Amino acid sequence: MILKTLIENQNRLVPAIVEIELIPGIPQIHFLGLPDKVIKESFFRIKAAMKSSGFKFPLSQQVIVNIRPSSLKKSSLGLELAVALGILHLTGQKILCEETQKHLIYGELDLNGGVREPEDLKYFKNMNNDLVLTGNTLHESHQFSRLMDLNSEVLISRNQHSKTILRRPEIGLKQNFSEEEAELIFLMATSGLHTLLAGQAGAGKSFLAKRFISFYSSDETPTHDDWFPFIAPHHSLTAGAFLGGGAELSEGEIEKAENGVLLLDELLEFHSQILESLREPMTGEVLRIARAGRVKEVKPSFQVIATSNFCPCGKWIPGYDFSGCRFGASKCKSYLDRLSGPLADRFGLMYFHKLKRPQRTHSGHAILSRIENWKVLAQNNKPQIDLEMLDSTYSELSGRRQQALVKVAQIFAIEDQAPQIIGKHLKKSESWTVKGFLQLEKGMN
């Protein structure tokens, strides 16, 4: 018999298949597919729960339970319900209807036959909106079908396929921003371009980056229960933990940020191996991870927001006088060299923060309203550009820099409801997609 369930793998619940068969032999449950000690101990809870509920465990048969995928180490208490129901179905003591067999069956068993919802189920990312069968819970929730105990009937929830209710974080909506910060947030949200926030220490780079999640949105299904993921690893992270891998091909920070935001605070403090490994994922190329004969492919889909001081003194911005620097220009220049040209080229937007900034008078709600209004206009307006004019005027720019320039110019044209991208749109776009990067190329000379 084949049932669907969930298993805990690397601190994450993932769908799995449970194959259950009865063969002659000593009454015992044999778990295949790299089970850990917790799963192996489930035999005693399953047997006690069946006996307390008035059912009989097979006296002259062994229960073979194969858990797929077999290549991953599994840990889970919620597997008990699927195994118990499979045994009852195979022995004819409790026949499962077709609708019940379509569920992901995931629940813990009490020794008296009661069924409980495992604590980790509330964190399950139900990306495919699957039907889930579990047990009783102390939390107020109606999104799963439930089985109170092994003797009761399944209480089918009819609203499991309802659309996920997205709860936009309010951390950014409750703040005010300067005019330039408000413009930058608007462009980040509407373009989806990777963004580099540079400038002086204490000027508000991290403040802005951490509040961007309130304005982020996507046409894709969110991978979190109520909003898109926001992953902010510490710069002491190892390359293996960042990319994922190890003997069991564990999930890395890049995979956790799927369809969300990856914040790299203090970018130049990350290990050089991490910085260079970002180059392919930032362009959307498939990341192929191979460890000990096992291979996993990850299709990156996230927006990178990076913050950084470009010198150890934390003061350098274009035009800064090094006479006040306690480290000296040579040390500051060597620090800036950590950012390679190819990696910088992956960022589409750049903004230099200064300690002396205008007052923050633009509310988060006003910025969000502008973003939503732009999305409505964008549905029916796709401004074009004269490619010959683009090549002749911006021939010195890389292909990626030209793409970022046109993308932001198109955003301004849509907001103006213009049928074509013209010079003023490109000029406005330059200040966000070209100017800062040219200043960065000149360095600290």
Q: H or E segment at 15? A: strand 13-24
pLDDT beyond 90 at 221: no
Degrees to nearest 5, angle at CA 386 with 382 and 388: 150
- Mean pLDDT in residue range 366-387: 92
**pLDDT tens track for 242-275:** 877 665 566 778 888 888 999 999 999 999 989 9
Q: What integer pLDDT is reported at residue 386 of this predicted model?
A: 86
Q: What integer pLDDT is reported at residue 166 of this predicted model?
A: 63
Q: Which of 435, 73, 34 is nearest to 248 (CA)?
A: 73
pLDDT beyond 60 at 167: yes
**pLDDT tens track for 126-135:** 767 788 999 9
pLDDT beyond 70 at 58: yes
Q: What integer pLDDT is reported at residue 140 of this predicted model?
A: 57
The pair of three-digit structure tokens given for residue 67, joined into one six-digit string: 């858990």
pLDDT beyond 90 at 12: no
Q: How far apart are alpha carbons 293 and 140 in whole angstroms?
A: 45
pLDDT interval class at 10 (50, 70, 90): low
Q: Does domain 2-146 have CATH number 2.60.120.10?
A: no
Which DSSP letter does residue 123 get? G
- Mean pLDDT in residue range 191-208: 91
Q: What integer pLDDT is reported at residue 222 of this predicted model?
A: 60
Look at the pTM and tell me if it is higher than 0.85: no
Residues of the chain with CATH 3.30.230.10: 2-146
Long-range interactions of 267-273: CB distance < 8 A, separation 24+: 267/196, 267/235, 267/306, 267/307, 267/308, 267/339, 268/308, 268/309, 268/310, 268/335, 268/336, 268/338, 268/339, 269/235, 270/235, 270/237, 271/237, 271/238, 271/239, 272/338, 273/239
Q: Is 268 exposed, middle or buried (0-12, 13-18, 19+ CB in 10 A)?
A: buried
Q: What is the CA radius of gyration of the chain?
A: 28
Q: What integer pLDDT is reported at residue 301 of this predicted model?
A: 85
- Mean pLDDT in residue range 94-100: 88
Q: H or E segment at 429? A: helix 423-433
Q: Which of 99, 38, 48, 39 is nearest to 66 (CA)?
A: 39
Average pLDDT, the chain: 85
pLDDT interval class at 225 (50, 70, 90): low
Q: What integer pLDDT is reported at residue 88 of this predicted model?
A: 93
Between residues 197 and 255, the one the model is more confident about: 197
> Amino acid identity, residue 100?
T
Q: What integer pLDDT is reported at residue 371 of this predicted model?
A: 96
- Mean pLDDT in residue range 371-391: 90
The residue written with tokens 């002396």 in the block is 356
Q: Which residues of 392-416 are buried (b: 16+ CB within 10 A; e: fewer)?
A: eebeebeebbbebbbbbbbbbbbbe
Q: What integer pLDDT is reported at residue 267 of this predicted model?
A: 94
Q: How far apart are alpha carbons 285 and 300 in whole angstroms?
A: 7
**pLDDT tens track for 60-73:** 889 999 988 877 77
Q: How far apart are alpha carbons 434 and 393 in whole angstroms?
A: 13
Residues of the chain with CATH 3.40.50.300: 176-442
Q: How far apart are alpha carbons 182 and 238 in whole angstroms?
A: 34
Q: How far apart are alpha carbons 24 and 1 in whole angstroms?
A: 16
Q: In CATH, what number does 176-442 get?
A: 3.40.50.300
Q: Which of 317, 315, 335, 334 is nearest to 325 (CA)?
A: 315
Tell me the torsion sign for CA atoms 49, 51, 55, 61: positive
**pLDDT tens track for 128-157:** 778 899 998 866 555 788 898 998 887 766
Pairing of strands 287-291, 132-134: unpaired
> Crossing angle of helices 364-378/179-191, nearest 10°?
40
Between residues 36 and 367, the one the model is more confident about: 367
Q: What integer pLDDT is reported at residue 165 of this predicted model?
A: 52
pLDDT interval class at 162 (50, 70, 90): very low
- Mean pLDDT in residue range 18-24: 93
Q: What integer pLDDT is reported at residue 144 of this predicted model?
A: 85
- Mean pLDDT in residue range 415-428: 93
pLDDT beyond 80 at 29: yes
Strands of 265-333 (E only): list them: 287-291, 294-298, 302-308
Q: What integer pLDDT is reported at residue 74 of this predicted model?
A: 74
